[in-house]
Amino acid sequence: MKAENNESLDLLSVFLTGIPGLEAQHGWLSIPFFTMYVVAIVGNSLIMATVQADPALHEPMYLFLSMLAGTEVGVSVSTLPTVMGILWFDARRVDLDGCLAQMFFIHTFSCMESGVLLAMSYDRFVAVYNPLRYTAILTLPRIVCIGLVITLKSVILRAPLPVLLRSLPYCHTNILSHSYCLHSDLIQLPCADTKLNSILGLAIALAIFGLDALLIVVSYMLILYRVLGIASGEGRWKALNTCVSHICAVLVYYVPLIGVSVMHRTAKHASPLAHTLMSSIYLFVPPVLNPIIYSVKTKPIQQGIITLFSCKRE
Determine the residue type at 64. Answer: F
In this predicted structure, the answer to whether residue 229 has a pLDDT above a threshold of 90 is no
Among the ranges given (7-16, 251-260, 262-271, 275-284), the one the predictor scored with the smallest mean pLDDT = 7-16
Give the CA count within 13 Å in the CB-facing half-sphere of 280: 20
The CATH class of the 8-312 domain is mainly alpha
What residue spans define the domains of the chain? 8-312
Residues contacting 118, CB < 8 A, separation 6+: 212, 215, 216, 219
Mean pLDDT of 87-104: 94
Q: Do residues 208 and 112 touch, judged by C-beta distance below 8 A? A: no
What is d(CA 94, CA 86) in angstroms, rounded to the nearest whole number? 11
Q: Is 222 exposed, middle or buried (0-12, 13-18, 19+ CB in 10 A)?
A: middle
**Tell me, what's the pLDDT at 191?**
85
136 or 3, which is more confident: 136
Angstrom distances, CA of residue 50 to CA of 33, 55, 255: 25, 9, 28
pTM for the model? 0.93
Predicted pLDDT at 57: 94
What sign results for the dihedral spanned by CA atoms 207, 255, 290, 18?
Answer: positive
Residue 103 buriedness (CB in 10 A; 0-12 / 13-18 / 19+): buried
Q: Percent of the chain scored above 70 by pLDDT?
A: 94
Q: What is the pLDDT of residues 124-173, one digit of tens each?
A: 999 999 999 999 999 999 999 999 999 999 999 999 999 999 888 887 66
State the average pLDDT over residues 107-116: 97
pLDDT single digits (tens) 50-72: 999 999 999 999 999 999 999 99
Mean pLDDT confidence for 199-215: 93
Average pLDDT of the chain is 90
Q: What percent of the chain has pLDDT over 90?
A: 68
CB atoms within 10 A of CB 99: 26
